[in-house]
Amino acid sequence: MNIFIAGGTGVVGTRVVPMLASAGHSITAIVRTAEKRAALSRYGVKPVDASLFNADRLRQAVVGHDAVINLATAIPPASKALMPGAWRENARIRRIGAANLARAAASGGATRYIQESFAPIYEDAGDRWIDESSPIRPARYNRAVVDAERAAQSFSSARREGIVLRFAFFYGPDSDFLHGMIANVRRGWAPGFGPDAYISSISHDDAASAVAAALELPAGIYNVTDNEPVTKREFFQTLAAAVGAPEPRFPSSWLSLLLGSLGETLARSQRLSNRKLRTACAWSPKYPTVREGLVEAVAKRRRT
């Protein structure tokens, strides 16, 4: 299969590319720097210099590909996530870039379009399970997620499959957010709100394998999360044990109000189900829960 990928040099994309290459697919990826071009060249990737905001150039680049994967984001580092305008470029990518890429995929003859999305747009559900039919309530900072999903859904037709992958909270040894969480836990604080609320997570590796599996999925929206979400208390207990720190304390829930819409999202309880994805294909996470995944991520971080 000829596959075009945007975001192939990100933390998930750099894992997806070797998976696709080892499966025998031909890959074209948007690459902007010589360093990243060299990193992907070992997998036989054809680099293309294109912008998600240049619709004409994008259409030219996408022609002739069977599938188009959009993993492009501009997530700010944890240290800047609360700064004014920090999420503006990410919103622009999801609102304008995703629409341009989906239209290019359709006009270029692709039969499959895969769009990354963000599962924490679901409403707070307490201890109830959340599936793909559950109501969503995007926060102000991430409401462009809905635009990106709409672009994928508009791609679908009788002969085309538009797939949305709603990823849970990411973690991995190369995660900026994991680094920030470790620093906070070592200082004795859990960087979250509501110890009894549920948090749903997915490792970078398992997210990448879900993207590869999506090449066989029927059109629709799919939650990408591990098998057993845990409470935030257990999440941070697991992380603290992995780094050799005491069990951290949780800040008062009212402090989430000071963090605006990002804080409100982080305070939600979300117990996501991956049943639809696991039923529709052969995918299953390598790390069934954060009990295994976080420990491995911390260990890998120490080795690098």
- Report residue 88's pLDDT band, with 50, 70 and 90 as the boundaries: very high
Closest CA to 173 of 216, 150, 205: 205
Percent of the chain at pLDDT > 70 equals 100
Say what the pTM is.
0.95
Who contacts 159 (Cβ-Cβ below 8 Å, separation ≥6)?
Answer: 111
Give SS3 for 28.
strand
The pLDDT tens digits of the residues spanning 16-70 come to: 999 999 999 999 999 988 898 888 889 999 999 999 999 999 999 999 999 999 9
Q: Please write the tens of the pLDDT for every residue from 119-156.
A: 999 999 999 999 999 999 999 889 999 999 999 999 99
Residues in the chain: 304
Lowest-confidence segment of 65-74, 206-215, 228-237, 252-261 by average pLDDT: 252-261
Count how many domains the chain has.
1
Given a cut of 80, whether residue 78 has pLDDT beyond it is: no
| Residue numbers of the domain that contains 264 | 2-303
**In the chain, what is the straight-line distance between the N-terminal and C-terminal CA atoms, in Å?**
34
Alpha carbons 51 and 105: distance in angstroms, whole number: 14
CATH number at residue 96: 3.40.50.720
Q: CA 132, 136, 141, 144 torsion: positive or negative?
A: positive
Measured CA to CA, the distance from residue 245 to residue 254 in angstroms comes to: 25
User: What token pair was written down for 229?
Assistant: 């979400």
C-alpha gyration radius of the chain: 19
The sheet with strand 161-167 has its strands ordered as: 46-48, 26-30, 2-6, 67-70, 112-118, 161-167, 220-224
User: What is the overall mean pLDDT for the chain?
Assistant: 94
